Structure 1
Amino acid sequence: MLYTNIFLIFGILIILGLSAWAVVLWREVFANQAKLKQFEKQQKDFLASSIKILALAIANDQLDLTEGAIRLKILLDNIDVNLVKQPDLAVFDTIYNATKHMATHDAREAMQLSLKIQQDSERTDLEEQYGEAIKAAAKKLLSTRF
């Protein structure tokens, strides 16, 4: 009988200890979820702010249309990949896909002049064809809430 009571008390203490530990772990989980939610909100706010800045620069002719469209497509994809599938914003995806083969940075610097001229001509043609749509989409982004 004595051993039974000792084992019973010992078992209850183990259960209480494990229960306390479970409560501590659940609190950590909830705290981590709250931190993650806050981080995601800050990230989304930062992306939204960056989108507004780029859209305003495009609307005010302060940014190259092709570069702006590419940057906006990437930022929009980071918020939601389906945003650039909307008809009003699809031009960003169109420009991105039409220019992704073009060299940038060091690769562009290393290119032959004739290839640079060819890519610049292609980019200019795209801007002439889609310029108004890019500006309209940028203006739409200025009034969009993310």
Structure 2
Amino acid sequence: MDALTLTLLTTGLLLIAALAAYAWNLWRRVWANQRARDEAQQERQQRLGGDLHILASSLLDEQLPLIEGAIRIKVLLDNYDSTLSNDSRCQVFHVLFEATADVPTHAAWKALDKSERRRFEKRFNELELQHKAAARIAARWLLDEGLKGPQASA
């Protein structure tokens, strides 16, 4: 083998080794990013689960208005676990959410005149009378069983 061939072969092997090392470094970054993403997702799920636990407990202890609690629980459930959110035992949260979807919030609520506010408050009272027992049962189920499922341990 002459010197040129040996030089080209050595250069080629060094280039392959350098590219392999670079590829390995890139894969390590990908794996680290994936691990970080998984940890962030797990922390998010734990945070949402804790928030759902607090809301369901507050709803049962009547520290939170039924309508507001149901809306908040529904939104968090959608983000926590769509399968759990769509469970028939949580349907009451969806019903209350949809029944109040047209109610103005925040500044728009404050801008309503008193008669409009009273009309909405009357509807809230009717909805509460109609769905309070079901909402309490659903909140109790969430605390006792729903939030202890596969997502809660993930």
Q: Displacement of 1:135 after TM fit?
A: 0.6
Amino acid aligned to 1:75? L
How far the C-alpha of 1:84 sits from its partner, in A, is 2.4
Report the count of equivalent residues.
Answer: 146
Counterpart amino acid of residue 32 in structure 2: A
Shift of 1:4: 1.9
Which amino acid counterpart does residue 116 of structure 2 have in structure 1? L
Query: Which amino acid in the other structure matches residue 29 of structure 1?
Result: V
**C-alpha displacement at 1:104, in angstroms?**
1.1
Alignment match, 1:17: 18
Alignment of 1:1-146 (within 5 A): 1-143=2-144, 144=146, 145=148, 146=152
Structure 2 Cα separation of the partners of residues 72 and 19 of structure 1:
50
What TM-score, normalized by structure 1, do the two folds share? 0.95
Q: Distance in 1 between matches of 2:136 and 2:30?
A: 45
- Alpha-carbon RMSD: 1.0
Task: Determine the C-alpha separation between the residues in 1 that align with 2:100 and 2:75.
Answer: 13
Consecutive unaligned residues in structure 1, runs of 5 or more? none
Task: List runs of 5+ in structure 2 lacking aligned partners.
Answer: none
User: Which amino acid in the other structure matches residue 137 of structure 1?
Assistant: A
Which stretches of structure 1, 4 residues or longer, exceed 4 Å deviation after superposition? none
Q: Tell me by how many angstroms 1:30 deviates.
A: 1.2
Sequence identity percentage? 35
TM-score, scaled relative to structure 2: 0.91
Counterpart CA distance in 2 for 1:81 and 1:87 is 12
SS for the counterpart of 2:88 is: coil
Q: Which range moved further: 126-135 or 23-32?
A: 23-32
